Amino acid sequence: MKKEDFIHQSAITRVKEKEFLTKNDYERLIDATNLEETVRLLSDTVYQSEFAKLDKYEHYDQALKNELQKTYNYMYSMSDFKYPVDLMALKYDYHNLKVLIKEYLKKEDFSSMLTDITRMEFKSVRDSIRENVALDIEHFDKVINESISDYEENKDPQMVDIYADREYFIELSEIADKIESQLIKEYVEDLIDFTNIKTLLRIQNQKKDLEFLKKVIIPNGSIESDKFENELHSDINEDSPLFKQARIYYYVKEAIAEYKKTNSLSAFEKYMDDYLMEKVKEIKKITYGPEVLFAYLFAKETEIKNLRIIFVGKINSLKPDFIRSKLRLSYA
């Protein structure tokens, strides 16, 4: 993939980056006295048109979903080279696949849980699952076959998530390889490393065995899979040799320390998001290339995540300092 193929798209994207909320914008939103004022403060932003359609501000999430949908539609329309957008959109394909498989297993209609940010044609995938006909989409077919086979034996719908998540990261790595960007390759490896460490902690807490661990550990990170297997019965502390040589070391160290205090992985998620944002911010130094489109989408998703945190805080009358502590680093 040639960087020169993205000169025009990168220029357009750099202009759109000026629409991102600034630190001052976030401070005003956090300090807003109520939900109505929070929405009013967004009146001069790109979110205004979607919030104007709401009958109740409590339905804020629909406005945020619509804005994200518009963003993906626009980014896909900009270029014949879809891989940088696919890199961020892929998780929605796999979310939909999980929903459709569980729908089949539970004999229920889960259509309301599907998202339109997808390359998937719902009817064809649904029909394929129901009629046991191959989709000829290698990764999807593998998830469907493994999930249904496992469920028939064990009746555990959780395994659908495990098979789908594993295959999602495998395909994510393949897309990163096609983009041929060292920075994006490292982003995916680091994301896998974070996910595997978080998974190991969860499995230790649940007292799962080695065979289960082998099913859920994801390949293609910078930390080899067998190292996680070797650490299953070890105490994972801030200076664990498991991740001491990894790029993510300093952020994981802080995340583990927080986890040890609270036994909650929510703080771990924040450290992961902040590390990845610092990584993505390096793309600001790149004039043009597929990285620019990818960075814009990563930044947009983070911005919407932050807006959700703020809206939840306002609805629940949470203190501004508490809301501020939960926000992720922003790109702007």
Provide the token pair at 267: 């703080």
Average pLDDT, the chain: 95
Q: Is the pLDDT of residue 264 over 90?
A: no
| Confidence category of residue 285, pLDDT binned at 50, 70, 90 | very high
Those residues whose C-beta lies under 8 Å from the C-beta of residue 84, and which sit 6 or more positions away, are: 6, 179, 184, 290, 291, 293, 294, 297
Provide the token pair at 199: 């998974």
**Could you give the 3-state DSSP secondary structure of residue 264?**
coil
| Confidence category of residue 332, pLDDT binned at 50, 70, 90 | confident
The whole-angstrom separation of Cα 290 and Cα 295 is: 9
Q: What is the pLDDT of residue 212?
A: 92
Q: What is the DSSP string of 120-159?
A: --HHHHHHHHHHT---S-HHHHHHHHHHHHHHHHH--THH
Q: How far is CA 319 from CA 28, 258, 311, in A?
A: 14, 21, 12
The whole-angstrom separation of Cα 331 and Cα 300 is: 9
Q: Is the pLDDT of residue 136 over 90?
A: no
Those residues whose C-beta lies under 8 Å from the C-beta of residue 259, and which sit 6 or more positions away, are: 201, 265, 267, 268
Q: What is the pLDDT of residue 80?
A: 85
Q: What is the pLDDT of residue 263?
A: 86
Q: Is the pLDDT of residue 1 over 80?
A: no
Q: Model's pTM, two decimal places?
A: 0.94
Terminal alpha carbon distance of the chain? 27
> Which is nearest to 167 in space by CA: 141, 188, 195?
141
Whether residue 234 contacts residue 177, with contact meaning beta carbons closer than 8 Å, is answered with no
Q: What is the pLDDT of residue 267?
A: 85
* E strand spans, 61-191: none
Q: What is the pLDDT of residue 79?
A: 82
The pLDDT tens digits for 95-109 are 999 999 999 999 999
Whether residue 292 contacts residue 14, with contact meaning beta carbons closer than 8 Å, is answered with yes
Q: What is the DSSP string of 16-43?
A: HGGGSPPHHHHHHHHH-SSHHHHHHTTT
DSSP 116: S
Encoded amino acid at 209, one letter: D
The pLDDT tens digits for 273-284 are 999 999 999 999
Q: Percentage of the chain with pLDDT > 90?
A: 90
Q: How many CB atoms lie within 10 A of CB 124?
A: 12
The pLDDT tens digits for 147-186 are 999 999 989 988 999 999 999 999 999 999 999 999 999 9
Whether residue 298 contacts residue 84, with contact meaning beta carbons closer than 8 Å, is answered with no
The pLDDT tens digits for 64-100 are 999 999 999 999 998 888 999 999 999 999 999 999 9
The whole-angstrom separation of Cα 284 and Cα 295 is: 8
The whole-angstrom separation of Cα 51 and Cα 60 is: 7
